[in-house]
Amino acid sequence: MYLRAGLGFTALVKLVHFASATVTDPTILDACPGYNVQNVSSSGANFTADLVLAGKACNVFGEDIEQLKLELTYETKDRIHLKITDPSNARFEVPETVLPRPQADDSVSPDSATIKFNYTESPFSFSIYRTSTEEILFSTASHTLIFEPQYLRVKTNLPPDANLYGLGEHTDSFRLPTHNYTRTFWSRDAYGVPNNTNLYGNHPVYFEHRNTGTHGVFLLNSNGMDVKINDTESTGMTLEYNVIGGVLDFYFLAGSESDPVELARQYAKVVGAPAEVPYWSFGLHQCRFGYHDFVDVAGVISNYSAAQIPLETMWTDIGTRSPHIPLDHANTQVFCADYMYKRRVFTLDPYYFPLDRMREIVDYLHAHDQRYIVMTDPAVAYVSGEDYGAYERGTDADIWMKAANGSSPFLGLVWPGVTVFPDWFNEKTQEYWTNEIKLFYDPDTGLDIDGVWIDMNEPASFCNYPCTDPFAQAEEQDLPPARATLPPDHDTPIFGNAQSRNRKRVDHSHDDVQNPPYAIANAAGTGALSDKTAYTDAIHANGLIEYDTHNIYGTMMSTATREAMLARRPGQRTLIITRSTFAGAGAHVGKWLGDNLSQWYQLRESLSGILGMASVYQVPMVGADICGFGDNTTETLCARWALAGAFYPFMRNHNGDTSISQEFYRWPTVAQAARNALDIRYRLIDYIYTAFHQAHADGTPVLNPLWYKFPKDANTFGIDTQFFFGDSILVSPVVEENVTSVRVYYPEEAFYDFFDLSRTYYQGGATVDLNDVNFTSIPLSIKGGAVLPLREKGAMTTTELRKTDFELVVAPALDGTASGTLYLDDGISLEPASTTTVSFTYQDKKLTVEGSFGHPTDVNVARVRFADVQSKPQNVKLNGNAVEEGKIAFDSERGVLDVSLAIPFTEGFTIEYQ
């Protein structure tokens, strides 16, 4: 136990310091003296003050800092930036190179702000309230501020049964629990993605939704922390930040009283709007942790084609036995294979994955309009004298993260055994990383990859704490493991008959960075901050240490990798999928949700996971491993997951080496489910591609929880097994085992069955049981008010899809109107030479299509489908001219009017009926 003088004995017995977490009696912390306000200065949008310790120091987890600096700025009419620092000592702040700060609007004044700051002088507390209603959104009243070298505490009151979302990454419900609940922020390798623990990434932002509006709070701090939400205290429901370093750097976002999506846009202005991704990235991706060799990989590609299941991108994982999983794991087959030589990054195994045969596979994929991606980890094997270029060049450039002594590299334990880690703060590291990617992935001499998959970038290490001898632990854990199969004949035929197979230095000299006095609830290993990762005292080139920078290591690697790929293919978008993220990562990369399990409950939890990333954290290119990564899937689970996963923005089937194979073609039911789901997905790709373009422009979410669209309907606040794909497609997957029904909530609006356009409406909203949902189908509905631009049919590749005609679906809202947009470009350029932007407006039985057609579509509008048509129309007109009777079809039972057009999609037009 680590306590300082000044805390009385009665308090001592109420503080419990566990090996993995510290539990405190909140009354003890609230009894600390806090600070008084002095030297207030206010000028326009800016407010500053000194905060001086108000009484005898509490010294709960260190010595209270006697004087602080408060700085506040009304940056926009909807955003307040509040910062509390120690003016006498440099403390770590997230560098602007990692997360650039938003610009303030100099014309803003407090009088024009939609939220305002108020404070009490003694002891200091503050509140943020909505200007129009004076409703308090954030208040530290009754909860004193604590600011110590390794402990910062801010606590706000909440309304009863608060609707809170965010504070990721986690696998808990989308609407956060509020009873004795802790969210811990400390990146870790989290096999099985367990509930109620810290996982791979850190996004310390929450959205709170009330009937009166939606607002957000973002704490820009990358140090370890616990955020505690509780409803059992005498002061009512509270949310408490317990941070073990850095500064208090808050952004308060006004959001909106009527439209929650506006809050998402405001957050995007702080952390950056998402990067645009290539058109092809919305196709199906396939990977396996355990493909034996090049023949195995080629066989998978061939088998997808033979099964008529569209495969856009083939991936190769590292593919060796995971130290997380025992060798005697029941009912599994252990593969010890991967594309690398001795598991070393930027290498190929010359026997199992020889360069010439792998280039043949990549050439085959590209010739068939498909793509290839491999895994790239941060850890580099610590070997010398073995002609391992990635290690030798990094050593020559001196770009490895250093041990606490500041001279020798910090050593960890990852797939290739003992490893070193690139230091992303070193000014030479970007050049090193760009060069390694350029050399290994050279189109003429190496693997001509189309994107990069990043794993283990928390950074993860398999070394058990204390890691005093990583070499001995490497032997104990058999890293790297030997191959378990013989290599194939180099000349084995493939594709014809293959079978599947710098700043002022922060002084931590007086801090205990290995075991800080306040212990966050880290779930890795023993709970020590350095367990299963780089040591917290590992040093970066600029003097910073991992204690402060740990949670941004993954995002820094992701950004460096994106820059390297942009240098490799200048002017082209790339796809980077990473595991560890921090706030702002979506501006550079996408993410998969990590090493999940083939369990029904994890299918359900994946939906809240993608909602968090896409609708709150601004990381919309997100998906979970479809059918599950660990354990063995089943035919019905994999079928249901293929159907639900078709509505992840990033769609990939991926599983582990100790599990059975689960490519979609392995079971008849799964194969048909995949074909059905992918046909729908591919028809919708231009719709979601348009949504991504809008997200890149202003942060509008590409996925929406139901309450984003129906913010006054309390029934929607807790729903996380239904969501909107884009603005208008309501996805309601079956996520329970051995059932063919699903309970669906329809808010008060017209909804249309995606397949037959039949209309559903329940006044006031209703929960409905949908029955007879077989294992190859998924309930989909179109929210009234949408005009959807769909491809007429799916295709085997996205290249082929772009040659397929469009059809327009008009699904009117209750007021009889509908609208939509379509954005097209070449699908790959960062700055396209030409674009097409089309708007669709429907009113009074007339659809108007207009826009700019700079980028050639090279296809037709095949037909227009009108839903909710009450009777057969007397006439239909295209641009004022009557349409032939033979081109008109009316379904009186469902109220659907189909008009065949087959006109070039090169200009606007109108179509109306009477």
Dihedral sign, Cα of residue 132, residue 136, residue 141, residue 144: negative
Active site residue 458: yes
For residues 204 and 219, is the Cβ–Cβ distance under 8 A? yes
pLDDT digits (tens, 9 = 90+) for 780-812: 999 999 999 999 999 999 999 999 999 999 999
Q: What average pLDDT does the chain have?
A: 94
pLDDT digits (tens, 9 = 90+) for 303-324: 999 999 999 999 999 854 433 4
Residue 2 is predicted with a pLDDT of: 26
pLDDT score of 881 more than 90:
yes
Instruction: Please name the amino acid found at residue 405.
Output: N
pLDDT digits (tens, 9 = 90+) for 42-73: 999 999 999 999 999 999 999 999 999 999 99
Among 301, 302, 311, smallest CA distance to 280 is for 311
pLDDT digits (tens, 9 = 90+) for 437-455: 999 999 999 999 999 999 9
With a pLDDT cut of 90, the percent of the chain lying above it is: 93
Residue 302 backbone class (left: φ over 0; alpha: ψ -120 to 50; beta: rest) = alpha
Lookup: tokens for 164: 């809170």
Q: Note the Cα 838 to chain centre separation in Å.
A: 29
Lookup: tokens for 261: 């999506």
Local confidence band at 336 (pLDDT 50, 70, 90 cut-offs) = very low
- Quickly count: other Cβ atoms within 10 Å of residue 514's Cβ: 15
Local confidence band at 326 (pLDDT 50, 70, 90 cut-offs) = very low
Active site residue 240: no
For the segment 121-150, the average pLDDT, to the nearest whole number, is 98
pLDDT digits (tens, 9 = 90+) for 496-528: 744 333 446 799 999 999 999 999 999 999 999
* Given the residues 172, 450, 595, 720, the one annotated as active site: 595
* Given the residues 458, 605, 657, 805, the one annotated as active site: 458
Residue 319 is predicted with a pLDDT of: 52
- In sequence order, what are the residues at sequence separation of 6 or more whose Cβ sits closer than 8 angstroms to the Cβ of residue 34? 54, 55, 123, 124, 125, 144, 145, 146
pLDDT score of 337 more than 80:
no
Local confidence band at 21 (pLDDT 50, 70, 90 cut-offs) = confident
Among 294, 306, 438, smallest CA distance to 361 is for 294
DSSP 8-state symbol, 615: I
Residue 497 is predicted with a pLDDT of: 47
pLDDT score of 539 more than 90:
yes
With a pLDDT cut of 70, the percent of the chain lying above it is: 95
Give me the count of residues in the chain. 914
DSSP string, 554-566: HHHHHHHHHHHHH
First to last CA, the chain: 80
| Beta strands 115-120; 125-130: pairing state | antiparallel
| Beta strands 652-653; 625-626: pairing state | parallel
Task: Tell me the sheet residues that pair with 807.
Answer: 790, 863
pLDDT score of 606 more than 60:
yes
The alpha-helical segments, DSSP class H, found in 464-599 are 470-476, 546-549, 553-568
Q: Where are the beta strands (DSSP E) in 551-698?
A: 575-578, 590-592, 622-623, 625-626, 652-653
Task: Give the Cα separation of 308 and 755 in Å (integer).
Answer: 21
Query: What is the four-CA torsion angle of 181, 187, 189, 190, rounded to 10 degrees?
Result: 20
Active site residue 169: no
Task: Give the Cα separation of 250 and 247 in Å (integer).
Answer: 9
Residue 504 is predicted with a pLDDT of: 63
* Given the residues 377, 455, 548, 686, the one annotated as active site: 455
Residue 551 is predicted with a pLDDT of: 98
Residue 501 is predicted with a pLDDT of: 34
Lowest mean pLDDT among 5-19, 717-731, 763-777: 5-19
- In sequence order, what are the residues at sequence separation of 6 or more whose Cβ sits closer than 8 angstroms to the Cβ of residue 332? 325, 632, 658, 659, 660
